[in-house]
Chains A and B, each alone.
Chain A
Amino acid sequence: MNLTLHVWRQKNTGSAGRMERYDATDVNPDMSFLEMLDVVNEGLISSGKEPIAFEHDCREGICGSCGFVINGIPHGPHKGTTVCQLHMRHFKDGDELFLEPWRAKAFPVVKDLVVDRGAFDRIIASGGYITARTGSAQDGNNIQIPKGAADSAMDAAACIGCGACVAACPNAAAALFTGAKISHLGLLPQGQAERDRRALGMVAQVNAEMFGTCTNVGECEAVCPKGISIEVIARMNADYLRASWKDRGARKESGE
C-alpha cells in the first residue's frame, strides 16, 4: 500500500515547526508503524535529507519511549496499542496520515516528534515511591495482600509513562499518570505510611510543572495503551482531599 504522511518537523525547542509531506510507498501490512517510518527515513537519508526524529526503544509496547499523535489520536487508531505495536494492517492504501508530537506546555518539543517528558520523573520524585531502605525488608510473606488488592494495584502499576494521557487531554492534565501511581502504592498495605505525604507532594509537583486541571473528560482513559481506568483519578482526588484536610489540622495544631 501507499500512504501520504504529513509530519511535524521542528529543529529544536527554540525554533518554529511546520508540517512536511512525505510519501510512504510499498508499505507491507505486517510492518509496525515505526518500521514504516524506518523505511521512510532510510529513503530520506539516501536522498541527502534529514531523517524524522522520533522516540523509540523496546518496540514491544512496554518501555513507554514511543508515542506521537496520528490523525489526532495519541498512539493512533488501534485501542490499547502503543505506536511501536501498531501494525500497518490497520491502515489502507491511499490513507493520508498527520503525525504530530504530544502537544502540552509541560512537554516541550525537543525535535520533530520527540518531546521532553522530564516532568513525569519529577512527579515521581515528589512522592511516587515507598521508602524501603535496601536491606531493611521483612519476609515477603509477612505482608498478606488480598488477591483483589494486589490485582488492582497491578492494574494501576501497568502505566508505562508514555504521556499519551496528557496529549489526549484538552487541558493537558497529568491526572491519569499521577493517579495511577497514587493508586498503585495506595492500594497496598506497604504504601499506607506515606499515603498522605505522597498525594500532597505529587499533586503539588503536577501543578508546578504547569499541567492543566482534570475536568473528567475521559480522553486519557480512551487512549491509554495500558487501559488504565479513570478510577485512579478518583482515588487520587480522594487521597488528596483527605491528606489536605489532615494536613490543615496538623498545621493548625503546630501553630504554623
Chain B
Amino acid sequence: MKLDSRIPQGPIETAWDNSRFEMKLVNPANKRKFTVIVVGSGLAGASAAASLGEMGYNVKCFCFQDSPRRAHSIAAQGGINAAKNYQNDGDSIYRLFYDTVKGGDFRAREYNVYRLAQNSVKIIDQCVAQGVPFAREYGGLLANRSFGGAQVSRTFYARGQTGQQLLIGAYQALEAQVATGRVTMYPRTEMLDLVVIDGKARGIITRNLVTGQIESHVADAVVLGTGGYGNVFYLSTNAKGSNCTAIWRAYKHGAAFGNPCFTQIHPTCIPVSGDYQSKLTLMSESLRNDGRIWVPKKVGDKRSPSQIPEDERDYYLERRYPSFGNLVPRDVASRAAKAVCDEGRGAGSGETALGVYLDFAESIKRLGRSTIEERYGNLFEMYERIAGEDPYKVPMRIYPAIHYTMGGLWVDYQLMSTIPGLFVAGEANFSDHGANRLGASALMQGLSDGYFVLPYTLGNYLAANKPDSLKTNAPEFAAAMDAVKDRSKQLLSIKGKRTVSSFHRELGKIIWDNCGMARNAEGLRGAISEVRALREEFWKDVNVPGSEGELNQQLENAGRVADFFELGELMCLDALERNESCGGHFREEYQTPDGEAMRDDENYQYVAAWEYKGEGNAPELHKEHLEFAYVHPAQRSYK
C-alpha cells in the first residue's frame, strides 16, 4: 500500500482554488448516468447526498434509523465555528486555521485544515439561506459566542440545539431531492459490507432492518458518512445505534485506518450514576463560558458545595491556565479533572466522587438569571431531568466522557480512501482535527466535507471512470451477500449464555481503563490480550435471540459489537505504537514535569495508517509524514 495524500503544491491560501480548477468535470447531461451511494444521513452524509442530487447525480442514501433526520449529528449542542469576524475581534481564516492546527496538537494536515477554515464562512451563508434559525442580536445580525481553545468569538449557534438545526436544514434539502427523484432514501437499512471489484468500490450489501432481507446495491462510487466509533467504550455520549461497522468493513477490504487511538474525551458530561447506565449525556462546552469549574481544596471534603467557603475552593483551571482559564481545550480540561479526582478531591458525596463542580452562581449574580436562562435554558433543564438537581441553585456535577473520535478511515486531500471510489466524510474519516478536536468544529467539518468538498472531488473521480453496465448479478455481489448471511446465521446459532450488552459493557470497561484518558504501555498490552480473550468468548457464548427474517434489534447490536472488538484491539495497538503524548492521546510515560502532554515531533510527526492483513495477521503500519510550513510546532501552551 502506498499512501498518496494528493496535497496540492503552492501557497496554502490558493491551494484549494487551484486544485478545484485542475479537477475534471462531469458534463451536466452525463451526471445522471452515474450512481453514487451515500451511507449515513448525518451532517456529512445528508449534505453530500442533497448536494450531489442537486447537481444531477443519481444518489442512493442509506441510514439505519427510521428517518434520516435522526442521525446523531442532531445531538450536537453548542455551535459551529466560522471565520466571519463579525465581532471585529481579530478573527480571520488564517486564525481559525492556526487555532485548529494548534488545537489538534500538530497532528493534522495543514492544507486540509486551511480548506476547512475557508469553507467555514460559506457554511454559515448556506445554512442561513436554508432557514437555519441561528441566534440573532436585536439588530437582526447573527450572534456569536466563544468556545474552548479560541480567544475570539466565532461560534454560531441555535440555542443549545445547533446540531439539530443544521441537520434539519440538510435533511430538508435531502428530502427536497427525494421529492425530485434524484435521491432515493433507504431508511432502516444497514450497510453490512462493501463490494470492491477490480480494486474499486462498486457497491454495498445491506440488511433491511424490518424484513431482514439482504440486498445488493451497485454504484460508481461509495461515500461513507457513518460517524465515529466512540461506542467502542460502551458508555459514551454517542447515540446507542452509532457504530463502526461500515468503516470496519471498508478497512477489511483494504481501506487504511488512520490514527485509531485519537479519541476525544469531553470534559463536561453528567457523571455515571449506576451500573445499569446505558449512555452518558453531554452538557455543552459552551457552559464553560459562564460556569466556573472547581473542586474542594481539601482531600476527601464531603461537604455539600454550598457549605464549602470560597477560600476552600480550588478553581484549578483558572489557577493552572490563567490566560485561557475555564476555556482551555477539551483534552486539557479533561485531564485536569481526572488529576484532581485522582488526588481524592472529586466533587460529591459518593465513594469514588468522580466529578467536578461547574458553578453558575457568580454569572447569575453578574448577568441575572434571565440571561443565563436565555443562553443555556434547555441545557439546565436537561441536567435537572437527569440528575434531579436544579443547577440554578446547586452547582452542576460534571465528569469527562468519550465524545468524539478524531481517528477514522484514512483519506487523501480529496477525501478518497486507499480504495479508489470509496470516499469518507465527517467524523468517519481521520479528519482535520489531528489529535484533538476543538469545540464547534465537528459540525463545521461534516458540512464542509458534504457541501463544499465532495461535490467537486467526487466529480473529479467519476469523470475519469466512465459508467459501465455492472449489475448486482455480478459474482462479487453474490459472494458478499452469502458472507453477510453466514455471519448472521453464525451469531444466531451460538445460543450461549451471555447477552450482547454484557459483552459490550465489559469491552467498554477494558478500553476505558486502558485506552481512555490516560494510557501506558503495560496497560495497553494487557488490554490487547483481554480484548482478544473476550472476543473469543463472545463468539462462543453470546446469546442472540430471535431470527434473521424480522426486526431483530439484538442481532443488529451483536454484529456491531463484534466489530467493536476488532477495532478496540487496533486502537490499543495504535496507542501502544505511538510513544508520545499528543492531544487526546496521553501516554503517562511521556509528560512534562507539570503533567502536560509531551510530543515527540522527531519520531511521531505522522499519521498512522493501518492496513488490514487478514484474519490472524498483524496489521501493517504505514506512516504519512506531516509537514508544517505555516504553523510552527511548539508545545501547546494555554497558560
Interface residue? B102 (CB, 8 A): no
- Residues in A16-55 with C-beta less than 8 Å from chain B: 28, 30-32, 34-35, 38-39, 42, 45-46, 48-51, 53, 55
Q: Is the CB of B239 within 8 A of A58?
A: yes
* 26 A-B residue pairings within 8 Å (CB atoms): A12-B550, A34-B278, A57-B70, A57-B239, A58-B240, A63-B72, A63-B75, A65-B70, A89-B388, A116-B66, A121-B69, A124-B171, A125-B179, A132-B173, A133-B54, A134-B47, A134-B51, A134-B451, A135-B122, A137-B125, A141-B84, A144-B139, A147-B140, A154-B133, A190-B128, A190-B129
Q: Given the complex of chains A and B, what is the CA–CA distance between A80 and B377 in angstroms?
A: 13
Q: Is the CB of A135 within 8 A of B386?
A: no
Neighbouring B residues of A103 by C-beta, 8 Å: none
Assess A50 versus B546: contact at CB under 8 Å? Given A35-B278, A121-B185: yes
Q: Given the complex of chains A and B, what is the CA–CA distance between A50 and B47 in angstroms?
A: 38
Q: Is the CB of B239 within 8 A of A45?
A: no
Assess A128 versus B172: contact at CB under 8 Å? Given A45-B499, A51-B545: yes
Interface residue? A222 (CB, 8 A): no
Interface residue? B404 (CB, 8 A): no
Q: Is the CB of A31 within 8 A of B168?
A: no
The 0/1 profile, CB within 8 Å of B marked 1, for residues 219-240 of chain A is 0000000000000000000000
B137 and chain A: residue at smallest CB distance? A147
Q: Is the CB of B86 within 8 A of A141?
A: yes
Q: Given the complex of chains A and B, what is the CA–CA distance between A34 and B277 in angstroms?
A: 10
**Using a CB–CB distance below 8 Å, which chain B residues touch chain A?**
47, 50-51, 54, 65-72, 74-75, 84, 86, 122, 124-131, 133-142, 158-159, 161, 164-165, 168, 171-173, 175-176, 178-179, 185, 187, 210, 239-241, 273-274, 276-279, 281-282, 381-382, 385-386, 388, 451-452, 455, 497, 499, 501-502, 543, 545-546, 550-551, 553-554
Q: Is the CB of B551 within 8 A of A154?
A: no
Neighbouring A residues of B451 by C-beta, 8 Å: 134-135
Neighbouring A residues of B161 by C-beta, 8 Å: 62, 158
Neighbouring A residues of B187 by C-beta, 8 Å: 118, 121
Q: Is the CB of A65 within 8 A of B86?
A: no
Q: Is the CB of A53 within 8 A of B553?
A: yes
Neighbouring B residues of A89 by C-beta, 8 Å: 388
Interface residue? A211 (CB, 8 A): no
Neighbouring A residues of B135 by C-beta, 8 Å: 150, 154
Q: Is the CB of A130 within 8 A of B131?
A: yes
A161 and chain B: residue at smallest CB distance? B69
CB distance from B199 to the nearest CB of A (A): 31
Of the residues B71, B175, B553, contact of A51 by C-beta under 8 Å: B553
Q: Given the complex of chains A and B, what is the CA–CA distance between A158 and B54 in angstroms?
A: 26
Q: Given the complex of chains A and B, what is the CA–CA distance between A124 and B74 in angstroms?
A: 17
Q: Is the CB of B133 within 8 A of A59?
A: no
CB distance from B244 to the nearest CB of A (A): 16
Neighbouring B residues of A188 by C-beta, 8 Å: 131, 133
Neighbouring B residues of A110 by C-beta, 8 Å: 210, 551
Q: Is the CB of A185 within 8 A of B550?
A: no
B385 and chain A: residue at smallest CB distance? A85
Q: Is the CB of B274 within 8 A of A28?
A: yes
CB distance from A231 to the nearest CB of B (A): 16
CB distance from A64 to the nearest CB of B (A): 6
Neighbouring B residues of A128 by C-beta, 8 Å: 172, 175
Q: Is the CB of B386 within 8 A of A85?
A: yes
Assess A184 versus B133: contact at CB under 8 Å? Given A60-B281, A138-B125, A140-B128: yes
Q: Is the CB of A87 within 8 A of B386?
A: yes
Q: Is the CB of B136 within 8 A of A45?
A: no
Q: Is the CB of A126 within 8 A of B179?
A: yes
Chain B CB count within 10 A is highest, among A118, A140, A144, for: A140
Q: Is the CB of A32 within 8 A of B278?
A: yes
Q: Given the complex of chains A and B, what is the CA–CA distance between A187 and B379 in angstroms?
A: 25
The 0/1 profile, CB within 8 Å of B marked 1, for residues 140-179 of chain A is 1101111100110110011011000000000000000000
Q: Is the CB of B65 within 8 A of A57?
A: yes
Neighbouring A residues of B124 by C-beta, 8 Å: 140
Neighbouring B residues of A121 by C-beta, 8 Å: 67-69, 175, 178, 185, 187
Neighbouring A residues of B277 by C-beta, 8 Å: 35
Q: Is the CB of A30 within 8 A of B382?
A: no
Q: Given the complex of chains A and B, what is the CA–CA distance between A220 and B550 in angstroms?
A: 32
Q: Given the complex of chains A and B, what is the CA–CA distance between A31 and B164 in angstroms?
A: 25
Q: Is the CB of A81 within 8 A of B385?
A: yes
Neighbouring A residues of B497 by C-beta, 8 Å: 46
Q: Is the CB of A30 within 8 A of B388?
A: yes
Assess A59 versus B70: contact at CB under 8 Å? Given A11-B550, A46-B499, A135-B452: no
Q: Is the CB of A147 within 8 A of B136?
A: yes
Q: Is the CB of B382 within 8 A of A130?
A: no
CB distance from A151 to the nearest CB of B (A): 8
CB distance from A139 to the nearest CB of B (A): 6
Neighbouring B residues of A59 by C-beta, 8 Å: 239-240, 278-279, 281
Interface residue? A117 (CB, 8 A): yes
Q: Is the CB of A143 within 8 A of B128?
A: yes
Interface residue? A111 (CB, 8 A): yes
Interface residue? A120 (CB, 8 A): yes
Q: Given the complex of chains A and B, what is the CA–CA distance between A178 and B550 in angstroms?
A: 32
Q: Given the complex of chains A and B, what is the CA–CA distance between A120 and B161 in angstroms?
A: 21
Interface residue? A8 (CB, 8 A): no
B71 and chain A: residue at smallest CB distance? A63
Assess A157 versus B501: contact at CB under 8 Å? Given A51-B545, A129-B130: no
